[in-house]
């Protein structure tokens, strides 16, 4: 038995009421860096440590994640709002200008990690699922850094909030 389709606008309006922690997922491959602001990320397991991230598969710029086989999930604090906007593409800044707005280093895989992130999870991709409009990347955490316990940046009702 199949249900009638849900109107995409109604679905987006409902999901706007869902609070999501704002993160920047990054990767690097053959001298090219990519970073994207997301709220679609979560823990999968603690043994082994694993997270997942969801990225729009219709954006060809996101192909680099599969090509590199690695990503870093950088958890943002409230003071990172400008960085979140930049990596969301709101100001249409070139990639290197986006990265210049923060201090970055690497842990294990070579994916860029934000030095002052609340937490940075450095991951090797162990599985990928394509579902509807998105690719879901499952990453085994091979490097981890905890930052300060600043207020977290969350996105809800189509705006940022600090908690």
Q: Are 76 and 68 in contact (CB under 8 A)?
A: no
Q: What is the 3-state secondary structure (H, E, C) of 55-93?
A: EECCCHHHHHHHHHCEEEEEECEHHHHHHHHHHHCCCCC
pLDDT digits (tens, 9 = 90+) for 45-65: 999 999 999 999 999 999 999
Whether 151 shows a pLDDT value over 50: the answer reads: yes
- pTM value is 0.94
- What structural domains does the chain harbor? 8-162 (2.30.110.10)
Whether 2 shows a pLDDT value over 90: the answer reads: no
CA-wise closest residue to 20 among 42, 1, 46: 42
pLDDT-derived band at 4 (thresholds 50, 70, 90) equals confident
pLDDT of residue 3: 56
pLDDT of residue 1: 44
pLDDT digits (tens, 9 = 90+) for 85-140: 999 999 999 999 999 999 999 999 999 999 999 999 999 999 999 999 999 999 99
């Amino acid at each position: 038995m199949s249900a009638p389709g849900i109107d995409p606008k109604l679905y987006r309006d409902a999901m706007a009421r869902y609070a999501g922690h704002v993160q920047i997922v990054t990767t690097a491959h053959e001298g090219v860096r990519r970073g994207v602001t997301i709220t679609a990320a979560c823990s999968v397991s603690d043994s082994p440590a694993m997270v997942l991230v969801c990225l729009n598969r219709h954006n060809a710029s996101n192909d680099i994640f599969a090509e590199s086989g690695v990503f870093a999930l950088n958890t943002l604090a409230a003071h990172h709002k400008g960085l979140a906007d930049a990596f969301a593409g709101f100001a249409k800044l070139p990639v290197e200008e986006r990265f210049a707005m923060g201090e970055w280093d690497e842990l294990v895989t070579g994916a860029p990690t934000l030095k002052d992130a609340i937490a940075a999870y450095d991951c090797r991709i162990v599985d990928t699922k394509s579902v509807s409009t998105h690719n879901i990347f499952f990453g085994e955490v091979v490097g981890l850094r905890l930052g300060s316990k600043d207020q977290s940046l969350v996105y809800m009702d189509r705006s940022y909030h600090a908690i």
